[in-house]
């Protein structure tokens, strides 16, 4: 191990130099691009009719497409969503609910939660991947946890981190996560075109704020264009899209500090930024790839496994079929508890009994089981709000936040909202599960398109808008 340390040190130095050479970035977009590049990017997108554009948001739990237009009214908004699942079969690919159903029969052929894998890119990012695989294999329990969550292997493909899967016929498939994203995008495109009765040529795709310029370019080019079937694709940060849902990119939001906290099915992300002339300027951000609604569900599953063992003298820990049924029941119960104080859950089918057997889960018990996870989510927000400032500045830092927007399916959990409201001393917070896709749809319109990409004039004088 001692001999490996100098190697890791030199690899780390090379990695740092490569990152420094690429220049700083604002919301992950590269500085130093030419005005001609900016003009071409903007004009290419602006030249397409509003009715031929759509916005797409891929989540770990569900993915959506939204936009404007209809057979009779071009100003009518639409939004279509599917579960973020893709299954590979001998007859082709299955998407959404069909993929979930197939996964119940053949779990090793289905992919979900792939969003965490997006972004590891070529050149020096290959080095990042190798360092992570080498170091994490020894030190980081996250890799062991990820391996337990997914039925496939992680591989190096074309200098990037990819997925290796074995089909039902025993064939080995190797592909990048961008392909999975592209399959979802293509399915959403087909659904929207069927609804609208016309072709959609371009897409505005939301991306996590922590992706850098190369990662965004890869996602836009490969997922949205190559695999997704869009002729033109642009990207916008998820948190900017969430703020756009409330038109904070317009003059009324100028100078405001916005905090967007995303708590989804598998990941969480907090970002603090300020709008200036319609441009989001990053202040602080933190991302946790392993905290989301699935973790809350896991706690409920564990609770019922122990309860069944204690009260019904059955240990289902090794029964994969029973665990899948139990997890499905627990997921539904979790969602119902957002509006109820308690839910009776029928565990008869889990035990394979013909008779109904009910056990209750109260909201208070759910909160007890998950309190530490919800407090961990609050810590992410606190880290971003404080930005390293001393505790003596706590109140002033909180007061400096003008708008707080909570997005993602897990923000519907009452205790999550209550903890954050208490943290901000009872002030009103915006809770909007679908803010990202609705905001992206607004930004796909011609009058808003100039806020999609930031182009920098040499990385010195600030953003250069080419159309106002």
Give domain limits for the chain. 26-234+440-451, 293-368
For residue 284, which of 210, 375, 208 has the smallest C-alpha distance? 210
CA angle, 131 then 135 then 140, to 5°: 130
Closest Cα partner for 213 from 41, 57, 27?
Answer: 27
Interval 359-383 mean pLDDT: 96
Other beta carbons less than 10 A from residue 17's beta carbon = 11
Beta bridge partners of 77: 68
- Look at residue 413 in the predicted model and tell me its pLDDT: 94
Q: What is the pLDDT of residues 89-100, one digit of tens each?
A: 888 899 999 998
Per residue in 36-75, pLDDT (tens digit) is 666 666 666 566 666 678 999 999 889 999 998 866 666 7
Per-residue pLDDT, 47: 60
Task: Reply yes or no on whether the pLDDT at 167 is more than 80.
Answer: no
- Is pLDDT of 456 > 50? no
Quick one: DSSP state of residue 1? Answer: -
Is pLDDT at 301 greater than 80 in this prediction? yes
Residue 406 binned pLDDT confidence (cut-offs 50, 70, 90):
very high
CATH for 293-368 is 3.90.640.10
pTM here is: 0.80
Average pLDDT for 163-178? 80
Tokens of 303: 């609770």
Return the minimum-mean-pLDDT range out of 124-133, 237-246, 368-377, 396-405: 124-133
Tell which phi-psi region holds residue 142, choosing left (phi > 0), alpha (psi between -120 and 50) or beta: alpha
Strands 85-89 and 268-276: unpaired
Task: Point out the least confidently predicted range of 77-81, 165-169, 198-202, 389-393.
Answer: 165-169
Q: What are phi and psi of 450, to 5 degrees?
A: -70, -10
Q: What is the pLDDT of residues 331-353, one digit of tens each?
A: 999 999 999 999 999 988 888 87
What integer pLDDT is reported at residue 252 of this predicted model? 78
Q: Is the pLDDT assigned to residue 140 strictly greater than 60?
A: no
Q: What is the pLDDT of residue 344?
A: 94
196-215: pLDDT as tens digits: 888 998 899 998 887 777 77
DSSP secondary structure string for all residues of 170-216? S-EEEE-HHHHHHHHHHHHHHHHHHHHTS---EEEEEE-TT--HHHH
Q: Which residues pair with 174 in a beta bridge?
A: 164
Q: Which helix (H) or strand (E) holds 276?
A: strand 268-276
Average pLDDT over residues 307-317: 91
Q: Which pLDDT score is estimated for 217?
A: 81
Reported as a pLDDT band with limits 50, 70 and 90, residue 176 is confident
Identify the residue with better confidence: 142 or 457. Answer: 142
pLDDT for 171 equals 79
pLDDT of 144 above 70: no
Please give the average per-residue pLDDT across 406-410, as a whole number: 92
Measure CA 125 to chain center: 20
CB neighbourhood size of 158 (10 A): 9
Integer angstrom CA distances of residue 283 from 27, 317, 365, 387: 10, 45, 37, 8
Q: What is the mean pLDDT of the chain?
A: 79
Q: Between 441 and 125, whose confidence is greater?
A: 441
CB under 8 Å to 37, separation ≥6 — which residues? 455
- What pLDDT is recorded for position 45? 58
Question: Residues 6 or more apart from 147 whose CB is under 8 A from it?
Answer: none
Report pLDDT for 25: 36
Question: Given pLDDT bands bounded at 50, 70 and 90, which one contains residue 287?
Answer: confident
For residue range 232-267, list pLDDT tens digits in order. 888 888 998 999 899 888 777 888 999 999 999 888
Nearest CA to 233 out of 188, 166, 169, 167 is that of: 188
Beta-carbon contacts of residue 359 (< 8 Å; ≥ 6 apart): 304, 307, 311, 344, 345, 347
Q: Where are the alpha helices (DSSP H) in 355-434?
A: 363-386, 394-399, 414-423
Q: What is the CATH code of the structural domain delimited by 26-234+440-451?
A: 3.30.420.40
Give the pLDDT score at 430: 94
Percentage of residues in the chain having pLDDT higher than 70:
74
Name which of 131-140, 184-193, 215-224, 444-453 the model is least confident about. 131-140
The position carrying tokens 């923000």 is 411
């Amino acid at each position: 191990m001692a001999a490996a340390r100098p190697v890791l040190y030199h690899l780390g130095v090379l990695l740092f130099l490569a990152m420094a050479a690429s220049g700083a970035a604002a919301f992950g977009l590269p500085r130093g691009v030419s005005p001609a590049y900016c003009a071409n990017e903007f004009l290419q997108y602006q030249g397409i009719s509003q009715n031929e554009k759509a916005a797409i948001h891929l989540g770990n739990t569900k993915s959506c497409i939204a936009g404007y237009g209809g057979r009779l009214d071009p100003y009518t908004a639409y939004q279509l969503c599917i579960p973020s699942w893709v299954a590979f079969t001998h007859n082709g690919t299955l998407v959404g609910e069909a993929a979930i159903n197939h996964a119940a029969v053949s779990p090793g052929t289905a992919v979900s939660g792939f969003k965490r894998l997006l972004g590891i890119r070529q050149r020096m990012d290959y080095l990042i991947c190798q360092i992570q695989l080498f170091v994490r294999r020894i030190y980081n329990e996250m890799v062991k946890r990820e391996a337990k969550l997914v039925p496939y292997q992680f591989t190096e493909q074309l200098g990037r981190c990819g997925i290796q899967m074995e089909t039902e016929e025993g064939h080995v498939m190797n592909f990048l996560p961008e392909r999975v994203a592209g399959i979802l995008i293509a399915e959403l495109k087909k659904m929207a075109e069927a609804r609208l009765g016309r072709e959609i040529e371009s897409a505005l795709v939301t991306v996590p704020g922590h992706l850098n310029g190369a990662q965004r370019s890869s996602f836009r080019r490969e997922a949205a264009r190559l695999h997704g079937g869009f002729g033109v694709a642009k990207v916008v940060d998820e948190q900017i899209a969430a703020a756009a849902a409330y038109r904070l990119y317009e003059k009324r939001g100028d100078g405001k500090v916005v905090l967007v906290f995303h708590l989804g099915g598998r990941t969480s992300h907090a970002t603090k930024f300020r709008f200036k002339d319609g441009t989001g300027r990053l202040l602080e951000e933190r991302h946790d790839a392993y905290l989301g609604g699935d973790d809350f569900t896991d706690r409920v599953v564990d609770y019922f496994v122990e309860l069944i063992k204690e009260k019904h003298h059955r240990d289902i820990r090794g029964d994969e079929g029973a665990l899948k049924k139990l997890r499905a029941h627990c997921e539904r119960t979790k969602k119902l508890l957002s509006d109820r104080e308690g839910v009776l859950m029928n565990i008869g089918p889990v035990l394979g009994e013909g008779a109904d057997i009910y056990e209750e889960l109260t909201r208070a018990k759910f909160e007890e089981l998950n309190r530490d996870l919800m407090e961990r989510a609050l810590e992410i927000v606190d880290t971003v709000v404080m930005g390293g400032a001393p505790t003596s500045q706590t109140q002033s830092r909180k007061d400096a936040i003008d708008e707080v927007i909570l997005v993602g399916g897990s923000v519907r959990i009452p205790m999550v909202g209550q903890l954050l409201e208490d943290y901000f001393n009872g002030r009103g917070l915006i809770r909007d599960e679908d803010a990202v896709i609705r905001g992206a749809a607004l930004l796909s319109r011609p009058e808003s398109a100039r806020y999609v990409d930031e182009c920098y004039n040499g990385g010195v004088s600030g953003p250069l808008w080419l159309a106002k």
